Amino acid sequence: MGYLDLADRSWPLLNRVVGAHTAVYRMTRGAVGHRLPVLGQMLLLEHVGAKSGIRRTIPLIYTRDGRDLVLVASKGGFPKNPAWLYNLRANPDTTVQVGAERRRVHAREATAEERPRLWPLVVATYSDYATYQERTDREIPLVVLEPR
């Protein structure tokens, strides 16, 4: 069984874990769930479905870059981008929760000029991103969340 087969079968369990993480993060205002062993700092990203219009929330690892926050649309190195990236492309003005703080942000993909500076920062935050990039033929997008 390959990595992608195992990961495909793991999505239902992973979705439950993500839902529990999100609930605990919100309930404790980030006291639990903001910093996780091995993963590091996590935020809650709200995103609106590009087709469905349904509001969703997902916990994601983030990297600080000055006033901006940077997300990695890795999906564990899967061949396709995560759904939240398509949702942010369609609805870039959103809200994140970083610990107890809620922020209004504008999401945009990092430019080709920014990427050489940002990629080492995100890999320093979570080294598995380098492994994920090796697993896939797509260039893993970086998403910059700018204050609005």
pLDDT score, position 37: 82
DSSP per residue over 28-93, as a string?
Answer: TTTTTTSEETTTEEEEEEEEE-TTT--EEEEEEE-EEETTEEEEE--GGG-SS--HHHHHHHH--E
The whole domain housing 29 covers: 3-147
CATH of the domain at 95: 2.30.110.10
Amino acid residing at 10: S
Mean of the per-residue pLDDT values of the chain: 92
Between CA 79 and CA 140 the distance in angstroms is: 10
pLDDT digits (tens, 9 = 90+) for 22-79: 999 999 999 999 998 878 899 999 999 999 999 999 999 999 999 999 999 999 888 9
Residue 86: pLDDT band by 50, 70, 90 thresholds? very high
Predicted TM-score of the model (pTM): 0.89
Between CA 131 and CA 129 the distance in angstroms is: 5
pLDDT > 90 in the chain, percent:
79
- How many structural domains compose the chain? 1
SS3 of residue 133 by DSSP: helix
- Indicate whether 6 pLDDT > 70: no
